[in-house]
């Protein structure tokens, strides 16, 4: 089974039929050792249409798509492969309108496909961030970027009707980012996330926002006072994470134009995945995504209810 490709054309040329696509899915999902997704039993039989569990308590049939975002989809796997590649290869993502035109599917179908792909991209790795860590928060939606610094701080303290609050943690040493939607950017919301995601004793850098007061109890907390015009001090800064925020917003405003609060968390997962896998090739990134096909399930009803 070939897994090294230079571009999307080579991928689509190689995976011309469902059988070849399923072979790759089986390889990436189970690494050559199929396991029953219903009960976890490791002894299975291959059938004409997939597999059958050998456990007398189960005996259920399944395939490489069972329990994945691809289950019950009427689209050929080749289309899914193209969508996954295009979504993860483009630095700023790809709109459902453009994906629909590229793959010959409707915009509605392309939107559904992209949302399901994004659900796969969430980072479920429990490893703690460590070393030198930057923390910061941003707002997506509205037009607060041109407001005075004091006004932006007031927005942080009180919330803003047209904005969704996003909190981020960036491991400068491991070059990985975690971001998530938060209800409020106050200490009660942000500090528990930091304690959950960052190893105790790490260097945590933030601006002077009051929500971060008290971090020095568990971390070496370095404060960069933006309100006083300080943005860099002896290697301490939050510029890396702010650069990530710029990338996130350029993609959302430039490619997607707008996103609803309901779905924004999946777009954040998408941008974090691309950032965390930016040092591998487009085709390696595509192959890596296929190992995550069983990490999420997302139905149309869940998306639209």
> Facing residues of 137 across strands?
167
Q: How would you list the strands of the sheet with 176-181, edge to edge?
A: 176-181, 164-171, 132-140, 203-207, 220-224
Specify whether 86 is located in the same domain as 163.
Answer: no
Q: Please give the pLDDT value at position 266.
A: 96
Q: What is the pLDDT of residues 139-172, one digit of tens each?
A: 998 655 545 565 565 555 555 557 899 999 999 9
Specify whether 92 is located in the same domain as 49.
Answer: no
Q: What is the tally of structural domains in the chain?
A: 3
249 inside domain: yes
Which domain does 98 fall in, by range?
Answer: 1-29+69-120+277-305
Cβ atoms 276, 284 nearer than 8 A: no
Specify whether 104 is located in the same domain as 164.
Answer: no
Neighbours of 187 (CB within 10 A): 16
Q: Please give the pLDDT value at position 149.
A: 63
Q: Please give the pLDDT value at position 143.
A: 57
Specify whether 24 is located in the same domain as 42.
Answer: no
Q: What CATH number is associated with residue 232?
A: 3.30.420.10
Specify whether 219 is located in the same domain as 285.
Answer: no
Neighbours of 100 (CB within 10 A): 20
Strands (E), the chain: 44-47, 50-53, 61-62, 132-140, 164-171, 176-181, 203-207, 220-224
225 inside domain: yes
Specify whether 60 is located in the same domain as 143.
Answer: no
269 inside domain: no
pLDDT average, residue stretch 50-70: 96
Residue 299 has pLDDT above 90, yes or no: no
Specify whether 141 is located in the same domain as 253.
Answer: yes
228 inside domain: yes
Specify whether 292 is located in the same domain as 281.
Answer: yes
Q: How confident is the model at residue 14 (pLDDT cuts 50, 70, 90)?
A: very high
Q: How confident is the model at residue 126 (pLDDT cuts 50, 70, 90)?
A: confident
Specify whether 178 is located in the same domain as 294.
Answer: no
245 inside domain: yes
Specify whether 84 is located in the same domain as 169.
Answer: no
265 inside domain: no
Listed residue (107, 241, 222, 98) closest to 166, CA to CA: 241
Looking at residue 280, the DSSP 8-state letter turns out to be S
Residue 116 has pLDDT above 70, yes or no: yes
Specify whether 293 is located in the same domain as 236.
Answer: no
125 inside domain: no
Q: What is the pLDDT of residues 169-214, one digit of tens each?
A: 999 988 899 999 999 999 999 999 999 999 999 999 999 999 999 9
111 inside domain: yes
* Sign of the torsion formed by the C-alpha atoms of 211, 203, 139 and 128: negative
Q: How confident is the model at residue 245 (pLDDT cuts 50, 70, 90)?
A: very high
- Tell me the whole-structure pTM to 2 decimals: 0.89
Specify whether 58 is located in the same domain as 75.
Answer: no
């Amino acid at each position: 089974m070939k897994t090294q490709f230079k571009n999307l054309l080579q991928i689509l040329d190689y995976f011309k039929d469902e059988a070849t696509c399923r072979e790759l899915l089986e390889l990436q999902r189970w690494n050559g050792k199929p396991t029953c997704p219903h009960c976890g039993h490791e002894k299975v039989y291959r059938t004409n249409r997939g597999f059958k569990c050998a456990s007398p308590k189960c005996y259920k049939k399944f395939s490489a798509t069972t329990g994945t975002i691809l289950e019950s989809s009427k689209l050929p796997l080749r289309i899914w492969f193209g969508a996954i590649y295009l979504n993860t290869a483009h630095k700023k993502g790809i709109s459902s309108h453009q994906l629909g035109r590229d793959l010959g599917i409707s915009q509605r179908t392309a939107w559904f496909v992209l949302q399901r792909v994004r659900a796969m991209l969430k980072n479920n790795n429990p490893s703690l961030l460590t070393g030198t860590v930057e923390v910061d928060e941003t707002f997506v939606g509205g037009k607060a970027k041109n407001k005075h610094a004091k006004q932006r701080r007031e927005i942080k303290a009180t919330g803003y009707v047209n904005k969704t609050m996003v909190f981020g943690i960036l491991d400068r040493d491991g070059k990985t980012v975690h971001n998530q939607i938060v209800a409020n950017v106050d200490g009660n919301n942000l500090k528990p996330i930091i304690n959950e995601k960052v190893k105790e004793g790490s260097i945590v850098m933030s601006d002077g926002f009051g929500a971060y007061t008290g971090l020095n109890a568990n971390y070496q907390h370095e404060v960069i006072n933006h309100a006083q015009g300080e943005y860099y001090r002896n290697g301490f800064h939050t510029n890396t994470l702010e650069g990530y925020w710029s990338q996130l917003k350029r993609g959302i405003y430039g490619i997607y134009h707008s996103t609803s609060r309901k779905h924004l968390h999946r777009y954040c997962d998408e941008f974090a995945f691309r950032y965390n896998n930016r040092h591998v090739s487009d085709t390696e990134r595509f192959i890596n995504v296929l190992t995550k096909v069983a990490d999420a399930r997302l139905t149309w009803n869940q998306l639209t209810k």
